[in-house]
Amino acid sequence: MKSLISTLILLFSCFSLFAQKYTFDNQHLTHDIGVFTGVYAMQSDYGQRYNFQSEVGNAAMSISLVHYLTFYNRNARWNARYRLIDDIAIKTEINYMTTDNLRHHGKYVEAGGGPFSNRQKLRDMRGSVSIFNFGVSGEYHFNDLRSFSAYYSEYKWNPYVSLGIMYSMYENDLTTEHGDGDWRSDPTLLYTKWQDWRDRAVGKGSTGSAVLGAGIRYKLTERMDLSALGRWQYFFSDNVDGLNAKNRPENKYNEWAISLQVGVIWHLNFSDPLRLF
């Protein structure tokens, strides 16, 4: 945890130094805000790995609130030497992901996948998880943002790639429809490899995660863009879903998620300093 916090502080410090190097004062910082919503699919210990139904069947909703900081303004005379900076945006984000219907899919719950009692125990298991993500990402846009934002711009589309780090707080739960459902009193109601308490991690926790994405912006009006983003998020923990049979080869991997979101971005200021009051 300390190393994660130190990493985040280092990243913010680097961004601050970067901004000081390439900007003269706060009037050259451009601010955007946005809201995104979409779906995500978590690859976890629920379901067979790399099974299509495990991905689709365990999909759920996500929502994000974002802020973009860019280092340009639309005065073409400003800072003309540094062209690369016009392509870069720093995004800070609060993201919420939740599902209450994690299930096992794949060959192990189908006919022929093992003894009937074990298959039935897998079918009867249900998982839920809620995740708050807080983080920062750097975005590189293939068309410079200075030109893209101009009202006379010929650009309507602006693809980008992103890389970032997040701090993830989660809460998970486990239920079963097998027997009377009270697996805490009778762990044998669960599938064999999760009967030992050491192979479960039900409750609250936190971890870090890395995100890698690609997306595109569409210029709707001078002050509004539409955006679509596909992203891969890798968690630095195998406890996010509440199952952690780490001695089993098929369950030794950390959780990760793929998400697809669409959203709206508003430009708060261009060449003028941002004034809230």
E strand residue ranges, 71-155? 88-102, 125-141
What local confidence, expressed as pLDDT, does residue 113 receive? 57
Q: pLDDT, tens digit, for every residue of 193-225?
A: 888 888 888 899 999 999 999 999 999 888 899
What local confidence, expressed as pLDDT, does residue 34 receive? 96
What local confidence, expressed as pLDDT, does residue 198 receive? 84
Fold classification of 2-267 (topology level): Porin (2.40.160)
Residues of the chain with pLDDT under 50: 16, 19-20, 22-27, 78-79, 81, 276-277
What whole-number distance in Å separates Cα of residue 196 and Cα of residue 180? 19
CA proximity to 233, closest of 174, 141, 167, 139: 167
What local confidence, expressed as pLDDT, does residue 71 receive? 78
List C-alpha distances in Å: 29 to 57, 107, 251. Answer: 43, 54, 46
Single pTM value for the model: 0.80
The helix (H) or strand (E) run that includes residue 42 is strand 30-43
Q: Cβ contacts of residue 6 below 8 Å, gap of 6+?
A: none
CA proximity to 78, closest of 31, 21, 22: 22
Indicate the domain borders of the chain: 2-267
